[in-house]
Amino acid sequence: MITSVVRQALRTRGDEPAVLCHTGDHRTTRRELSGFRLRPADRLLDLDTHRLGDPVEVPGVGGEGEPEAVGLLVVVAASLTDLRRCLTTATLLPPAVHLVVAVADTPGNQGPLVPAPPGIDEWHGLQELRVRRVGQRGWLCELYFPNSVETAAALDHVLSGTGGRRRGPRSVPLGAVHGREGALWRSGDVSATGVSATGPIPLRRVTPVADLVLRVDDGSGLPEWQDPAVAHLDVATTGSGSWESLTSADAPAVSVPGARPGPSEAGRPVRVGEPDPVTTIAPIDERAVNPCGFTKKAGGPMGDLTVRGGKAVVREGQKVLFAVPDDGTVTDLDLGHTRYLRGIRVDWSGHSGPAAAVRAVASLAAGGVPLVSGSVPAWASGVGTELASLLVSVSAADLRDPLTREEHSVRLRRAALRTHGQIARWRELAVRAGIPVPPEPRMTVMLCTRRPEMVGFALAQIARQRGVRFEVVLALHGFPASLPQVRSAIGAFAATGVQITVYEAPADQVFGAVLNEAADRASGTVIAKWDDDDWYGPDHLADMALARTYSGADLVGITQDLVYLEELDLTVWQSYKSEKPSPDVVGSTIVIDRSVLEEVGGFRPLPRAIDSQLLFAVRRNGGRIYRTHGLGYLLRRAGQGHTWAADLGYFLRRNTKQWSGWRPSALLEGAVEPLGAARTVEYSGGHR
């Protein structure tokens, strides 16, 4: 299909030159573009090897008296991960009249390659748009602009539509990159600029187009930087770090907890040349490499990340699922090939280089793939101490238990995305370069309760949240803050230093209106709903923030995987599918952008069914809802007092596993005592 579309486009493109680009696995992409009879001015370009900062020159285009655009520009990507990575390089490509974008294959959870047009009249000149399926899961998108279109911007809009309406946060600070692997460091960011090795940084009117320059050294050395107005940092390519350089006598030693010497080190002390080896690893594009599509089946076989035929591969038995390229990139398509596995054993020997091995392991972890490993070699300290510890914390046999397997997956994805995600990495680079960055987004935890006796319990759950900036808006529905137990709980919470705003709502005010009044008092850009009687793990808000980033959804939440049935003193695990778009999430876990809440008109002024009505409104407004894992939350189900009317039989009929007593996931990290002088909330049984 791709070949026939490109052949027809070459025939009809007119007199202008054509540029045919490919990115990702050459066995797929280069084959699709081979065998064409090209004109002398046409170009065949490998976007993965082109050095950022070098112009893409097309004879007869862009010069004085010459057309600014090419007649045809084709980008063939092996996966969406590859297409996102090449966005940065695409800023160097000329405008095009006819743009063909093809992704050879996508995982089963991915939607079509449908662009999201920009605002105002930027695409007023679009004459034709066609989207077609390629094979079973590939996609092809054609856009025709008689007066041409900026190639990188059009690619960005294609990817934006594929990922949903909300783009998600971009990396800060504004970056410029130089070098062959520059796109690895700033994947999916059309605002990043390729620059020369020495500078100066181009100006947009009177302002530099970047605040920080990252130069990637391929081993040949870099000249002196000549633009004092813009800070720069230098890093090495994934292939430039050799085993010899790691073990040289001139490099300072570094240790990793539980580390052992690698097989290629010949017993010599392991050394690296950076104080923090984590920052030398090219980051992971969290919008492409993430847990989306994770499956909970624990009965599958184990796979291995190992070496076969001199190449790092992931295999199951003798079947190779995918080969890891020399730069260590793992794509969304590769992750899709591993989802049926119970887990993957990591073999640290024989990889093409330390950085490539670390990137591959960190990417699999970021994708939620359950990984097990022997002790981590010291040369792999770039994975970070937390991830290194997690890799040795469970065995392949442990992963046979579905709950243990998912708990391990969640811990791995947290550590990998927070350590190696592109957003986190660029904030770290900014700190190294002394460049200020905006604060992390602030969440507003919104708690509305009619029960004064539960205020201390609920605030204790909120107080132990970590890894996010947040404030609390507490709506007291029908009782004052002056009640002794309420006043005591609020005082104890305020002593933690977290800002809390109290709103005393009249008893006769309808529930939906109370929530709107509480939202009006929020100063955060993101609002998180909270219930007064459920248990939340200390990473609940941080997990919601992470899911919001990698899913691109307008609203995120979880399902009631774990439920404590108070009347029966029983905990049930329902094991719903997670890490997927879903129309339904638990209302007490809803996390929504404040702007989206305003767009849908806020909460409906109703006494009940408020959460389901909000979910309906978001979907009617074209928004996306995403369901992440539910192991950091335990729903309490008492006999009465719930706005959600479901009897105990509902939970008993649908459970996968059950235990006597109060038995949360290990990710909940136990219970906490209520704040202030509130009564202790009783529970029976033990916890893990």
pLDDT by residue (tens digit) across 184-197? 999 999 999 899 99
The radius of gyration of the chain from alpha carbons, rounded to an integer in Å, stands at 27
Residues 6+ apart with CB under 8 A from 578: 294, 296, 558, 559, 561, 627, 628, 629, 630
Spatial contact of 93 and 21, defined as CB atoms under 8 Å apart: yes
Check residue 1 and give its pLDDT.
85
Spatial contact of 554 and 525, defined as CB atoms under 8 Å apart: no
Give the model's confidence band at 34: pLDDT under 50 very low, under 70 low, under 90 confident, else very high: confident
Q: What number is the average pLDDT over the span 580-606?
A: 96
Nearest residue to 347 (alpha-carbon basis) of 307, 385, 396: 307
Check residue 35 and give its pLDDT.
85
Angle at 484 between CA 481 and CA 486, to 5 degrees: 45
Check residue 640 and give its pLDDT.
54
How much is the mean pLDDT over the chain?
Answer: 90
**Where along the chain do its domains lie?**
2-167, 168-237, 277-421, 442-668
Q: Which amino acid is at 327?
A: D
Give the model's confidence band at 349: pLDDT under 50 very low, under 70 low, under 90 confident, else very high: confident
Check residue 290 and give its pLDDT.
97
Concatenated DSSP letters of 533-596 = SSEE-TTHHHHHHHHHHHH--SEEE----EEEETTTTEEEE-----SEE-S---GGG-EEEHHH
Q: What is the pLDDT of residues 353-385, one digit of tens each?
A: 788 999 999 999 999 999 999 999 988 999 999
Nearest residue to 293 (alpha-carbon basis) of 345, 331, 346: 331
**Sign of CA pseudo-dihedral 481, 482, 488, 493:** positive
Check residue 248 and give its pLDDT.
46
pLDDT above 70: residue 226: yes
Question: Which range has the worst mean pLDDT, 99-103, 429-433, 634-638?
Answer: 634-638
Give the model's confidence band at 650: pLDDT under 50 very low, under 70 low, under 90 confident, else very high: low
Q: What number is the average pLDDT over the span 381-406?
A: 97
Spatial contact of 442 and 470, defined as CB atoms under 8 Å apart: yes
Q: What number is the average pLDDT over the span 343-347?
A: 97
pLDDT above 90: residue 159: yes
pTM: 0.92
Check residue 384 and give its pLDDT.
96
Strand 469-477 vs strand 442-449: parallel, antiparallel, or unpaired? parallel
Give the count of alpha carbons within 13 A of 189, CB side only: 27
Tell me the two tokens of residue 672: 């906490």
pLDDT above 50: residue 119: yes
According to CATH, the topology of domain 442-668 is Spore Coat Polysaccharide Biosynthesis Protein SpsA; Chain A (3.90.550)
Exposure class string for 644-675: b at 16+ Cβ within 10 A, else e: eeeebeebeeebeebbeebbbbbbbeebbebb
Q: What number is the average pLDDT over the span 210-220?
A: 94
Separation of alpha carbons 610 and 393, rounded Å: 42
Check residue 274 and give its pLDDT.
46
Q: What is the pLDDT of residues 143-154, one digit of tens each?
A: 999 999 999 999
Q: Give the three-state DSSP class for 673.
A: coil
Report which of residues 559 and 446 the model is more confident about.
446
Q: Which amino acid is at 380?
A: A
| Number of neighbouring beta carbons within 10 Å of residue 165 | 15
Q: Give the three-state DSSP class for 356.
A: helix
Angle at 524 between CA 520 and CA 529, to 5 degrees: 75
Return the biggest CA–CA distance within the chain.
Answer: 85
Check residue 258 and give its pLDDT.
36
Check residue 263 and give its pLDDT.
38
**Sign of CA pseudo-dihedral 388, 389, 394, 395:** positive
Separation of alpha carbons 335 and 322, rounded Å: 9
Tell me the two tokens of residue 334: 């590769």
Strands (E), 317-423: 319-323, 343-346, 371-373
Nearest residue to 670 (alpha-carbon basis) of 657, 686, 656: 686
Separation of alpha carbons 563 and 390, rounded Å: 27
Concatenated DSSP letters of 50-107 = SPBTS----TTSSSTTS-SSEEEEEEEESSHHHHHHHHHHHTTSPPEEEEEEEES---
Q: What number is the average pLDDT over the span 626-643?
A: 82
Q: Give the three-state DSSP class for 492.
A: helix
Tell me the two tokens of residue 287: 């919008």
Separation of alpha carbons 121 and 64, rounded Å: 28
Q: Which ranges in 77-206 belong to alpha helices (H)?
A: 80-90, 151-163, 182-185
Give the model's confidence band at 240: pLDDT under 50 very low, under 70 low, under 90 confident, else very high: low
Bridge partners, 445 (sequence order): 472, 528
Q: What number is the average pLDDT over the span 93-97?
A: 97
Residue 685 CA from chain centroid, whole number: 37
Q: Which helix (H) or strand (E) holds 242?
A: none
pLDDT above 90: residue 242: no
**Sign of CA pseudo-dihedral 60, 63, 66, 71:** positive
Question: Which range has the worst mean pLDDT, 463-477, 489-503, 575-589?
Answer: 575-589
Spatial contact of 195 and 53, defined as CB atoms under 8 Å apart: yes
Tokens 């990698």 label which residue?
A: 550
Tell me the two tokens of residue 360: 């591959």
Q: What is the pLDDT of residues 535-546, one digit of tens each?
A: 999 999 999 999
Check residue 306 and give its pLDDT.
94
pLDDT above 70: residue 260: no
Q: Which helix (H) or strand (E) holds 41?
A: none
Separation of alpha carbons 488 and 606, rounded Å: 31
